[in-house]
Each structure stands twice: as structure tokens, then as C-alpha cells.
Amino acid sequence: MLYRIVCIVFPLFAVVMAGFFYARKRNPDMSAANRANIEIFLPALIFAGLADKSFNLADKLPLAFGAAVVVIGSGLLAWPLARPLRVDPRALVSTAMFSNVGNMGLPLMLFTFGERALGAAVVLALVVTVLQFVVSPWLLGGRFSPGALWREPFLLAAALGIAVSLAGIAPWPPLMFACKLLADVSIGLMIFSLGARLAATPVGSMLGAGLAGAVVAPVTGMSLAWLFGTLAGLAGPDMDILFLFGALPPAVSCFILAERYRCEPDKVAAIVVIGNASALAFIPFALALRL
């Protein structure tokens, strides 16, 4: 299991280091690339991921509700911890709430629980995606306008992808291939940009915030997953999957949104990188408790 986690985490760190060393040598301006990612590549990733999956929401409503409780509850628990940890509350809360359920959670759940976990993992990814892109403009940008939400490309992509999936429509294969080509740019560019941001960040300020976020995210997530599962009577695989979901590290997309809204992207970058490294300890710990 540890080897499997290393195999999942290693590519992230390899691309982070590529961005780090390139930025140290060339000092690139990543703002245009990050904007294109938010407006083109990330929406393509969201649409391709959701439209290509089948949802059985009725059977997974308790799990979806539990995921929402873990996401929102983690933010509420993290907020009062920010001041003593000397981290901007918005930076700590966003990384505590939104976990790496796509890049890390999905392959881990499939490896651990088999194909039976696929539907549950997709529902968890859906909950995180919708909440992240609804809450982040208010949390990181300090503004909330329901009308503006539907002008956001990633929310439009999510809504369209869900609608296509629920309607049972099979998208035209060349269109899906084009979306996946654009989507393939998104994750690599996000991680590369993450490394470039770290290159411009003092190591001292990076370590403190990174270590704080690395601990807060999985501890609050696992605690809330266990509490909700116990009170709601979740049992068997759903309880195990929700608990593993709570142990996941922060999502890379937390950084790209912090960069967009200028909310301490250097500290968010540190939390994401150190948090994903810490998954080598927290994920086996979570599995040992449940399996």
C-alpha cells in the first residue's frame, strides 16, 4: 500500500520540482498560463471527468451528504486554528476543505476497495468540485454573487457535465477527445505552476504554513468522517470510503484558485506540497484504522 501511495505522489513532486528549478533559472510570469488554466483547461477537465461518468445519486445520497459535512465542517474547524498557527484563515480553510479526491482519492479507492468503490468515488469528486467552485469566490475573493457564478467557466462545465451524465447522453467521441486533450494540460500545468510559485517563496514562511495545513486537513477530515458515519449509521464500504476521503491531502486546485484571487498563494502552495507529502503517513494510518 505504501508503495502504491508513493507511485501516486511521486509524479506530483517530480513536476513540482521541474517548475521549481525552471522558475529559479528563468523566473517566468505564470499569470497568463494560470488564467488560461482557469478559463479553458480546468473547465475541460471538469466536463470530461463528469460527462464520462455515470452517477447513481439516489443510492449514494448518505455518502454525498457525509462528504458535504466533512468539507464544510473541516473549514469551520480550521478557521479558529488559523490565528494561533499564523496562517491566513482563508488559506488554511480552503486547503482543509477541498481534498485531492481526483488525482489521489480515486486511484487509491479503486486500489483498496475495487470496482465497487468507483460510483462512491465519483460522487465524492462531484461534491468536492461543486462546493469548491461555489464557495471559493466568496472565501478567497471576498465576494458572492449568485449571478456571477454562472459566468464562471468551471461551474458551467460542471453543470453541463452532470447534465450530460444524468441524461444518459453519449457525447460525440471526437468532442470528448478534444476535451481530454485540453484536460491533459490542466493538471500538469497546475502542478508546474505550483513549483514555480514555491521558487519565489522564502523557505521559513513556507514551512510553518505547510506543516500546519498538512496536519489540519486530514485530522479534521477523519474526525468529521468518523463522527458523521457513526451518527448516520453508515456501515461497511461507505463508512470506510468516507473515512479515507477525510484523510486525503489538499487538492492542487486550491493553489490555482488562491493564485487567481490573490489569497496568499505562496502559503497555499506550501500547504498543498507538504500536505501531499504527509499523505505517505496519514493514508496508511487511515487504512489501518478501517481495514
* Contacts of residue 193, Cβ cutoff 8 Å, sequence gap at least 6: 19, 30, 33, 34, 37, 255, 256, 259
**pLDDT for res 95:** 94
Of the two residues 126 and 176, the one the predictor is more confident about is 176
User: Does 48 map to a domain?
Assistant: yes
User: Does 8 map to a domain?
Assistant: no
Which of 209, 184, 220, 221 lies closest to 272, judged by CA? 209
User: Does 21 map to a domain?
Assistant: no
HSE of 143 in the Cβ direction (CA atoms, 13 Å)? 7
Q: Can you give the residue range of the structural domain that contains 56?
A: 31-290
CB 278 within 8 A of CB 249: yes
C-alpha cell at 255: 493553489
User: Does 119 map to a domain?
Assistant: yes
Q: At 225, which CATH number?
A: 1.20.1530.20
User: Does 96 map to a domain?
Assistant: yes
**pLDDT for res 147:** 60
| Residues 49-94: tens digit of each pLDDT | 778 766 666 677 899 999 999 999 999 999 999 888 888 898 899 9
Residue 99's SS3 state is: strand
Instruction: Count the domains in the chain.
Output: 1
Helix (H) or strand (E) holding 274: helix 265-290
pLDDT classification of 205: cutoffs 50, 70, 90: low
User: Does 3 map to a domain?
Assistant: no
**pLDDT for res 144:** 61
User: Does 12 map to a domain?
Assistant: no
**pLDDT for res 187:** 84
**pLDDT for res 74:** 96
Separation in Å, CA 149 to CA 206, 251, 286: 32, 21, 35
User: Does 263 map to a domain?
Assistant: yes
The three state secondary structure string of 41-64 is: HHHHHHHHHHHCCCCCCCCCHHHH
**pLDDT for res 36:** 92
